[in-house]
Amino acid sequence: MGSQAKFSALETGLEQAILAITQVGITSCDFQTSSQPVLNQQIQNLISTMKDIDSMRPQFNDVMLPVDVFDYIDSGKNPHLYTKDCLEKAAAKRQEQHAKADALQMLRDNLLEELDKMFPDQMKEYKMTRGL
């Protein structure tokens, strides 16, 4: 089964499970003793659907998800926001690292300038050996 097909099958199974859970909930809310056979059938349908979903588990052993995605889902956020937030954090970190690199370059330049003033002969030799 192709990658896309296995995800489609899982999505279909999950949709069926949601529908079965909804039906059990509706029947339970308006429960009357005469609806017991219907409720039993719906519960059996839900169990069957859950078994079908569970049987798909080996197909997804290679799928890796960050645990943070589940935190997003648990807090009611869209899991797609996780990717957006990760990209924003990476951009902020990149900008921070770039600023640090610029600061270190400025420090280096200032040190070379001050050392050149204080030790001109040694700095001339240093610059020749470093090719500066």
Half-sphere exposure of 84 (CA within 13 A, CB side): 6
Mean confidence (pLDDT) of the chain: 91
Burial class (CB in 10 A: 0-12, 13-18, 19+), 104: exposed
Per-residue tokens: 63? 């799928």
Condensed to tens digits (0 to 9), the pLDDT of residues 23-39 reads 999 988 888 888 899 99
Please determine, for residue 1, whether its predicted confidence score (pLDDT) is greater than 70: no
- The predicted structure's pLDDT at residue 32: 85
- The predicted structure's pLDDT at residue 95: 97
